[in-house]
Amino acid sequence: MQSSRVDLDHTRLTTQQGVRVDHTDDSLTITERGPTLLEDFHAREKITHFDHERIPERVVHARGAGAYGHFQAYEGWLRDYTVAEFLTSGEQIPVFVRFSTVAGSRGSADTVRDVRGFATKFFTRQGNYDLVGNNMPVFFIQDGIKFPDFVHAVKPEPDNEIPQAASAHDTLWDFVSLQPETLHMMMWLMSDRALPRSYRMMQGFGVHTFRLVNADGQGTFVKFHWKPVLGTHSLVWDECQKIAGKDPDYNRRDLWDCIEAGQFPEWELGVQLVDEKDEFSFDFDLLDPTKIIPEEQVPVRPVGRMVLDRNPDNFFAETEQVAFHTANVVPGIDFTNDPLLQARNFSYLDTQLIRLGGPNFAQLPVNRPIADVHTNQRDGYGQQAVHKGRTSYFKNSISGGCPAIADSGTFSHYTEHVEGHKIRKRSESFKDFYSQATLFWNSMSEVEREHIVSAFRFELGKVTSKEIRGRVVAELNNVDHELAVRVSEGVGVTAPAEEVRPNHGRSSPALSQLNAPSNR
């Protein structure tokens, strides 16, 4: 059998069947100027394979760059909180990371105003764990059921596929003006965070509140953070626009070149931990992915270090075919009921079934766990494994009885008590859309504020509908009056007269009450 990695060998050429070919420039024809023969299996195979080279690009995050490396936990202090060995053992484990833009197509420019994906696959001894995050700590929407609407608003319009620039777009701003939960994330998107200078200088966030689970089955809420050792740095908008023309591969090339030159990028993984008993002690809902946990309230504690030190051999095989999935968790890490996360747990596997052509993409080299894999799944498109034996079901008494399920090292779902009515209604505790957008604005220096105002003016200013521009400015007035006035002056709408948000500048006093279990 051939191994997965194939070295270049231009001294010989064969068909897929290994038959050596003497000539690949001329088709088999009758006479030098005659018709081509169907019998030319080499020509048919060569063209057919070429015809099938393309697979669908990712429905979002289509453009990306990846690299291999390793992760190592510093020490075992997290052992009290989780049985995830890679977070506690101090052993070096392999990782593959893919950075991406979100809205653009596979061939789009790197330096656009956009969120960046930061997805990490940890190849742990307990199985693959994927931390599928972004370079911003919050998200546009609170519930994944809105994701198709949001992405349809961000992507080019369906009639003419214009505009390519997602942030300067009637439909995006229409969506934003009608869905105020987007505002906190829109503040991040209009800030310099949306213009990273380098993937090596970007923070990463798991965004959702996840759960760590220890050996006693006890849960602790957790938010994951990546901090780049080089610090967080951005381009300015003028640079971005010029670079997009001169070197659309700017971020991708930077990552590749630095790794080739031995300047390996590094990040520290950190966690914010919240005891379960403190679930309702915040003035926002921990399950709401449009909220951060302020670091002043819960500090980020360092857990380990990741270094990226090897470029892929083949972009398609590795960076394109890698399949991240929020539901790829290992013992000791579990979900919460964050409705955005729950939808993601459905969406990734579903999309990869079509993007990667069937149910066996976990066998692709870049996705293969280092942990042993034993399933009773069989057959299907792209099956690579040759499963031996007579049985592929459990329990069975024919092939050696029923192996006992090990009582340690297995994944057992966190035991959460849930009861209540089946309803289609978001909790009131998700309804403060403005406080953290204001917090973000208030934390900015004057230079950063100028950049944010200019970004709003540039992007929103391109929106053709004055009504939409007016609605967005009215929403910004709920974030900060000065911000709304400054933006309005650049986008041709009347400045709002005064602040409209009754609880401006402070969070709603009712929220911790609303968060009480009886109200949820």
Binding-site residues for heme: 58, 98, 147, 344, 348, 355
- How far is residue 471's CA from residue 294's CA, in Å, rounded to a whole number? 29
Burial of 164 (0-12, 13-18, 19+ CB in 10 A): middle
Least distance to ligand HEM from the beta carbon of 501, Å? 25
Binding status of residue 323 toward ligand HEM by CB under 6 A: yes
C-beta closer to ligand HEM: residue 84 or 323: 323
Binding status of residue 64 toward ligand HEM by CB under 6 A: yes
Binding status of residue 352 toward ligand HEM by CB under 6 A: yes
CA-nearest of 404, 415, 98 to 251 is 98
C-beta closer to ligand HEM: residue 132 or 259: 132
CA-nearest of 40, 115, 128 to 84 is 128
Least distance to ligand HEM from the beta carbon of 369, Å? 17
The correct pick among 78, 103, 131, 132 for binding ligand HEM (CB under 6 A) is: 132
The correct pick among 101, 134, 454, 508 for binding ligand HEM (CB under 6 A) is: 134
The correct pick among 65, 83, 109, 119 for binding ligand HEM (CB under 6 A) is: 119
Least distance to ligand HEM from the beta carbon of 391, Å? 33
Per CB under 6 A, which region of 10-18, 133-141, 383-391, 471-479 contacts ligand HEM? Answer: 133-141
The correct pick among 68, 86, 147, 440 for binding ligand HEM (CB under 6 A) is: 147
Q: How many residues bind ligand HEM (CB under 6 A)?
A: 28
Binding status of residue 270 toward ligand HEM by CB under 6 A: no
CA-nearest of 60, 148, 54, 161 to 104 is 60
Structural contact between residues 180 and 478, judged by C-beta atoms closer than 8 angstroms = yes
Other C-beta atoms closer than 10 Å to the C-beta of 52 total: 9
Locate 242 and state its tokens. Answer: 């010029």
Binding status of residue 196 toward ligand HEM by CB under 6 A: no
Least distance to ligand HEM from the beta carbon of 435, Å? 19
Contacts of 167 (CB under 8 A, 6+ apart): 112, 113, 114, 189, 194, 455, 459
Task: Tell me the per-residue interface mask from 71 to 110 with ligand HEM, x by CB under 6 A, - otherwise.
Answer: ---------------------------x-x----------
Binding residues: 58, 98, 147, 344, 348, 355
- How far is residue 347's CA from residue 255's CA, in Å, rounded to a whole number? 29
Contacts of 443 (CB under 8 A, 6+ apart): none
SS3 317: helix
Binding status of residue 344 toward ligand HEM by CB under 6 A: yes
Structural contact between residues 166 and 152, judged by C-beta atoms closer than 8 angstroms = no
SS3 122: strand
The correct pick among 96, 221, 324, 361 for binding ligand HEM (CB under 6 A) is: 324
First to last CA, the chain: 57
Per CB under 6 A, which region of 159-167, 300-308, 342-350, 397-405 contacts ligand HEM? Answer: 342-350
CA-nearest of 332, 327, 328, 325 to 411 is 332
C-beta closer to ligand HEM: residue 133 or 312: 133
| Active site annotation includes 61 | yes
Per CB under 6 A, which region of 180-188, 336-344, 487-495, 506-514 contacts ligand HEM? Answer: 336-344
Active-site residue (options: 42, 70, 128, 134) = 134
The correct pick among 42, 58, 193, 252 for binding ligand HEM (CB under 6 A) is: 58
Give me Rg for the CA atoms of the chain. 26
The correct pick among 343, 455, 491, 511 for binding ligand HEM (CB under 6 A) is: 343
C-beta closer to ligand HEM: residue 128 or 477: 128
C-beta closer to ligand HEM: residue 64 or 265: 64
Task: Tell me the per-residue interface mask from 282 to 321 with ligand HEM, x by CB under 6 A, - otherwise.
Answer: -------x--------------------------------
Structural contact between residues 78 and 88, judged by C-beta atoms closer than 8 angstroms = yes
CA-nearest of 130, 49, 119, 127 to 319 is 119
CA dihedral 242, 244, 250, 252 (to 10 degrees): 170
C-beta closer to ligand HEM: residue 156 or 461: 156
Binding status of residue 186 toward ligand HEM by CB under 6 A: no
| Active site annotation includes 134 | yes
C-beta closer to ligand HEM: residue 348 or 433: 348
CA-nearest of 341, 221, 206, 227 to 282 is 221
Q: How far is CA 240 from the centre of its chain?
A: 22
Q: Which residue has its beta carbon closest to ligand HEM?
A: 117
- How far is residue 252's CA from residue 315's CA, in Å, rounded to a whole number? 12
Strand residue runs (E) in 2-137:
64-73, 93-101, 116-124, 127-134
C-beta closer to ligand HEM: residue 200 or 471: 200
C-beta closer to ligand HEM: residue 60 or 103: 60
- How far is residue 97's CA from residue 290's CA, in Å, rounded to a whole number? 24
CA-nearest of 432, 350, 326, 341 to 145 is 341
Least distance to ligand HEM from the beta carbon of 60, Å? 5
Match 């909180």 to its residue by tokens.
Answer: 81
SS3 428: helix
The correct pick among 71, 86, 139, 199 for binding ligand HEM (CB under 6 A) is: 139
Contacts of 182 (CB under 8 A, 6+ apart): 140, 141, 150, 175, 176, 290
- Name the site residues for ligand HEM (rule: CB under 6 A): 58-61, 64, 98, 100, 117, 119, 132-134, 139, 144, 147, 207, 289, 322-324, 340, 343-344, 347-348, 351-352, 355
Active site residues per annotation: 61, 134
